[in-house]
Amino acid sequence: MSEYTLIATCAFGLEALVRQELDDLGLPVSEVRDGRVLFEGDAEAIAQANLWLRTADRVLIELARFPAETFDQLFDATRTLPWAEWLPRDAFMHVTARSHKSKLFSLRDCQKIVKKAMIEALRARYNQERFSEDGPRFPVEVALLNDQATLTLDTTGPSLHKRGYRSDAGSAPLKETLAAALVKLSRWEPPRLLADPLCGSGTILIEAALIARNQAPGLQRDFQGQAWPWLPAAIWQRAREQARKQIQPIDIRLLGSDSDGRVLKKARDNAEAAGVADLIAFQTLPVSQFRSRKRYGVWISNPPYGERLSDRQSLQTLYAELRAVWAELPDWSYFMLSGDPQLEQDLGKRASKRRKLFNGQIPCQYYQYFGPWPERAPRE
Statement to judge: residues 9 and 102 lie in one domain: yes
Q: How high is the pLDDT of residue 375?
A: 80
Q: Are the C-beta atoms of residues 373 and 363 closer than 8 Å to each other?
A: no
Statement to judge: residues 190 and 306 lie in one domain: yes
CA distance readout (Å), 13 to 79, 200, 223, 355, 364:
35, 24, 25, 8, 11
Q: Is the Cα dihedral 187, 191, 193, 195 positive or negative?
A: positive
Q: How high is the pLDDT of residue 169?
A: 52
Q: According to DSSP H, which parts of the chain are helical?
A: 15-24, 43-52, 71-79, 107-126, 176-186, 203-212, 233-245, 261-274, 309-327, 343-347
Question: Quick check: is 302 in a domain?
Answer: yes
Q: What is the CATH number of the domain that holds 130?
A: 3.30.2130.30
pTM: 0.95
Statement to judge: residues 54 and 115 lie in one domain: yes
Q: What is the CATH number of the domain that holds 307?
A: 3.40.50.150
Question: Quick check: is 146 in a domain?
Answer: yes
Statement to judge: residues 206 and 88 lie in one domain: no
**Residues in the chain where the model's pLDDT stays below 70:** 1, 168-172, 306-310, 377-380
Question: Quick check: is 278 in a domain?
Answer: yes
The DSSP code sequence of 208-265 is HHHHHTT--TTTTS--GGGG-TTS-HHHHHHHHHHHHHT-------EEEEES-HHHHH
Percent residues over pLDDT 70 in the chain: 96
Statement to judge: residues 150 and 185 lie in one domain: no
Statement to judge: residues 259 and 124 lie in one domain: no
> How many domains does the chain fold into?
2
Question: Quick check: is 380 in a domain?
Answer: no
Statement to judge: residues 33 and 147 lie in one domain: yes
Percent residues over pLDDT 90 in the chain: 92
List the domain range (segments joined by +) for residue 118: 4-154
Q: How high is the pLDDT of residue 380?
A: 45
Question: Quick check: is 357 in a domain?
Answer: yes
CA distance readout (Å), 316 to 44, 56, 121, 199, 364:
51, 34, 62, 19, 18
Statement to judge: residues 43 and 81 lie in one domain: yes
Statement to judge: residues 68 and 36 lie in one domain: yes
Statement to judge: residues 279 and 142 lie in one domain: no
Statement to judge: residues 101 and 190 lie in one domain: no
Question: Quick check: is 229 in a domain?
Answer: no
